[in-house]
Structure 1
């Protein structure tokens, strides 16, 4: 999009050019209810609310947006943009303040206002209590019956568009400062790379306080002038195939989700629920927000090919909040690249051909860097570039890289203004202003990015690197009683300084009455030894729904580790000494 300085101006443009097109449609949890707003009505509703916000705030004040997936969230978000208020999307607080990030976010960004639904979504008063304790004014939001169309006080591109709080998968959530220019640059990158256009309808169930849900699945279609359909996360989790039905019903070209969602669709597949569904119009099945597994791509394509799904639509991608959202992906229509590499080489942080059939690890490419974005693989200790074939930290430069972390100058300097060391003289010629992502990966000779995991999560046992997501995947498939994507592997240090690997794993709900714990422990240990040449020190089975995860579904390994050390995890049964196995003897 050319000539716009903010997304609020983009919405104003769409309201004039495409006034009667349904911008946003919401699937309510109530059957048959699908309220929607056209571009013209969305703009009018947002402008009306913006006038109210401008009267209660100064430019730059923060406002919490505490909504489910609903039209009111979209109106409130654009009203903030119009009023020069910094929006802070946030999930509703949970009853137990120690187990969610809401208190930390409120303390960090010191908001002036909190916007939420006028209809009371908080029967226990949890939200009102939190806001009153911190002196935050509550603004209930409802759709105006006859909104007046006003341009609203649009602000310039140098001001922040919103704060996107990180998931907190490895640390306390931090507020990423996303400017209007960051946002517009990344939306344009996505448009060019994915080939999206005004007819590219999007269907999403991802919460709008998550960057993939907000930017990819809501703001991208609004940027394009395309329709967007929002479903509730709970609706997807209970009936994942309804997501695919909605893609069919709305002729959606684009739908994005984390890797686990595609696995869940396969696990819950029922032929009768897919009757009449045609997925041939689905062109971009973006897979991101967590490690992309080659096995998942193959399982999903094989399961849904009879319903028109084209494997070339599967689009593994890499992104993070600090870069606004998307960093890399393949072009529309390109087949996802899968490489077979040495599993033993991967443990040594290098990429090499397999030495024998039992040494094969299949990894999926997340595509090449978006246009206008530079990627580098850097040794995190020496800060020097690594050659192709070596695993290091992913660093990047782009106009979409955010301004830093809210109120954290030291951390912003370290993460957003890093320098790559070179041998050139004078030192001023060093490459500066790179974003350190904290993620591990490598680039192949064609510039394709392969993500290996989080730098902080890597476990080193006897000098060998072990990636938790690989061990977790092995554990989940070792026995049918275990839930896929619901395990956390981490390392502890014993009294003499040796690293020992622990796995905490949820049990499938359907298996809770017939679980043979010794059998499960034996299957898990055998699978891990066979696939990773290491024995687990301990396996703890826990009840479904109790593994610490972020709001976007990422496993919080560091928090799980701390709760395990503190004895706060509740085992599946009193026989919590499920597998106190001896340390690896290899």
Structure 2
């Protein structure tokens, strides 16, 4: 389908060739409600709304899309594509504006319109209040009983399809400018690498304002002409095994999620809840959006093998919004590859075989670069490409790399138009600097180590926060997996110290002996990383700052610790719902 210039043309093609296939089905949080649209109905509804958008906007105007996972979001998104309006998917504004990205996004992209469901009453008036303060016209969206056709679409291959705001895990969110050509090229790469097709139904719970949810789990199946089934994020967080049940019910081949989601399914596993579920149709269990852990791959495959899940279905991958989405993944049907490396050498930013069993660290490969995409591992100081097995910054060249950040020319120049020291003068091609650390193994597959800004250097030794966080969570049953943050501070003696903030398990709150838990954490970190923690902070369930994809916001956690605004573990009440919203 690479001959199409936009996804709006793709939808028109699917509406003509597969009109009666269910393009999107949504599992509402209300029991029994599963609204659905065929490809023909989706195209008609989007075209109807596009007529109204075209009458109220000029090409290139921005429109906020503020929806839960719903058929109305899908209609609004494609209406923007048809009308030449730049869609800006965004989560619902939160009352606490200090910890809410919506205000920063609105100020950054200056939207003309904001679209949201007509059925959403906005009882607190927060959305209306926020939009009125910025002079933004609010357009409620409902499905039309008799949608009117659209005469013509306005997009072009070089124009913007949408702004994908980064998660803000290390800084304020920035709007990545994704063109129609970027989007079509990355969707074609995914189809070729993963082997998906028109019968590859996708089931997802990832929010649609996140790139993994939007592109991999919604736009990829529409590009293929395949069905897409959407669950709500809150529904998954409360009952994660319902995701697996939906995969079973729809005989889905594809389900993608961050690493923590696969851990959560194992942690909440109950045999009685899996009765009758057959996962043999699941061919692509794509694990991305945060560091992939070899232990997670092993635990998930072992737990769900009795229900038909095949180990080769697990598909670790690497991607980022700045490259539209997917950068690396292994081909369908291959077992995930792991590499045993020395933990000591890793701390020195080197890759070497482990000295003994105690020195063994298992690294999960995220697969090889997509066809048409080039990866270089660059030295942070010299910008020279590094050989196989050396750790450096991951640099990317591809047609799917976006044009830059919205209205940020200096940051765009530094990030999207980098040059390697060895690039010939006038050679043309520039590189995307990802800000991520990694290395290529002997098979040319990528192993991601961490983010440059997160690396902690203690007495000249590199420590990666995700490794310490994993050790902490495994040190005591009262601690919640994938809900900790490690970061450094400078003490009064100008010495760098490590702080760990860790959520407790909700079900364990009443029985926690804090001194015992802290001692277990300290001992585990010393034994596994040869470094002492300055302080262990236990906090309330669901209160750790996380991005929309479930990434830990270490810099924001650090700021809240310094401000003294983290919520202690022994406060009354429960913040589980906030955890669901942030995932």
Answer whether TM exceeds 0.5 for this pair.
Answer: yes
In the alignment, what sits opposite 2:460?
463
Matches within 5 A, 1:247-266: 247-266=247-266
TM-superposed deviation, 1:150: 2.9
TM-superposed deviation, 1:553: 1.2
Deviates more, 1:549-558 or 1:110-119: 549-558
Which of 517, 526, 548 is matched with 1:529 structurally?
526
In the alignment, what sits opposite 1:220?
220
TM-score scaled to structure 1, two decimals?
0.96
Which of 508, 511, 515 is matched with 2:508 structurally?
511
In the alignment, what sits opposite 2:577?
none
Superimposed CA distance per residue, residues 213-248 of structure 1 (whole angstroms, 9 cap, x where no aligned partner) = 000000000000000000000010010000000000
Superimposed CA distance per residue, residues 283-342 of structure 1 (whole angstroms, 9 cap, x where no aligned partner) = 000000000000000000000000000000000000000000000000000110011100
Report the secondary structure of 2:430's partner residue: strand
In the alignment, what sits opposite 1:38?
38
Contact residue 217 and residue 228 of structure 2 kept, 8 A: yes
Contact residue 391 and residue 442 of structure 1 kept, 8 A: yes
Matches within 5 A, 1:43-122: 43-122=43-122
Contact residue 489 and residue 503 of structure 1 kept, 8 A: yes
In the alignment, what sits opposite 2:580?
none
TM-superposed deviation, 1:394: 0.3
In the alignment, what sits opposite 1:240?
240
- Structure 1: 5+ residue runs without aligned partners? 575-586
In the alignment, what sits opposite 1:361?
361
Superimposed CA distance per residue, residues 33-70 of structure 1 (whole angstroms, 9 cap, x where no aligned partner) = 11100000000000000000000000000000000000
Matches within 5 A, 1:246-395: 246-395=246-395
Report the secondary structure of 2:419's partner residue: strand
Report the secondary structure of 2:285's partner residue: strand
Superimposed CA distance per residue, residues 490-548 of structure 1 (whole angstroms, 9 cap, x where no aligned partner) = 01112333211000001111111111001001100110001000110000001111111
Contact residue 509 and residue 570 of structure 2 kept, 8 A: no
TM-superposed deviation, 1:151: 4.7
Contact residue 340 and residue 353 of structure 1 kept, 8 A: yes
TM-superposed deviation, 1:430: 6.7
Deviates more, 1:145-154 or 1:377-386: 145-154
Report the secondary structure of 2:176's partner residue: strand
Matches within 5 A, 1:197-212: 197-212=197-212
Q: Please give the alpha-carbon distance, in whole angstroms, between the structure 2 residues aligned to 1:533 and 1:414.
A: 36
TM-superposed deviation, 1:153: 2.2
Aligned-pair Cα RMSD in Å: 1.1
Q: Please give the alpha-carbon distance, in whole angstroms, between the structure 2 residues aligned to 1:412 and 1:298.
A: 39
Contact residue 204 and residue 213 of structure 2 kept, 8 A: yes
Contact residue 50 and residue 150 of structure 2 kept, 8 A: no
Contact residue 479 and residue 520 of structure 1 kept, 8 A: yes
Which of 483, 496, 499 is matched with 2:493 structurally?
496
Q: Please give the alpha-carbon distance, in whole angstroms, between the structure 2 residues aligned to 1:120 and 1:68.
A: 10
In the alignment, what sits opposite 1:178?
178
In the alignment, what sits opposite 1:560?
557
Contact residue 418 and residue 432 of structure 1 kept, 8 A: no
Q: Please give the alpha-carbon distance, in whole angstroms, between the structure 1 residues aligned to 2:321 and 2:500.
A: 28
TM-score scaled to structure 2, two decimals?
0.97
- Structure 2: 5+ residue runs without aligned partners? 572-583
Contact residue 548 and residue 556 of structure 1 kept, 8 A: yes
Q: Please give the alpha-carbon distance, in whole angstroms, between the structure 1 residues aligned to 2:542 and 2:277.
A: 31
In the alignment, what sits opposite 2:130?
130
Contact residue 93 and residue 127 of structure 1 kept, 8 A: yes
Q: Please give the alpha-carbon distance, in whole angstroms, between the structure 2 residues aligned to 1:567 and 1:33.
A: 43
Number of residue pairs matched by the alignment: 571
Q: Please give the alpha-carbon distance, in whole angstroms, between the structure 1 residues aligned to 2:151 and 2:279.
A: 39
Q: Please give the alpha-carbon distance, in whole angstroms, between the structure 2 residues aligned to 1:87 and 1:467.
A: 36
Q: Please give the alpha-carbon distance, in whole angstroms, between the structure 2 residues aligned to 1:183 and 1:3.
A: 13
Is the aligned partner of 1:434 residue 2:434?
Answer: no
Q: Please give the alpha-carbon distance, in whole angstroms, between the structure 2 residues aligned to 1:120 and 1:192.
A: 39
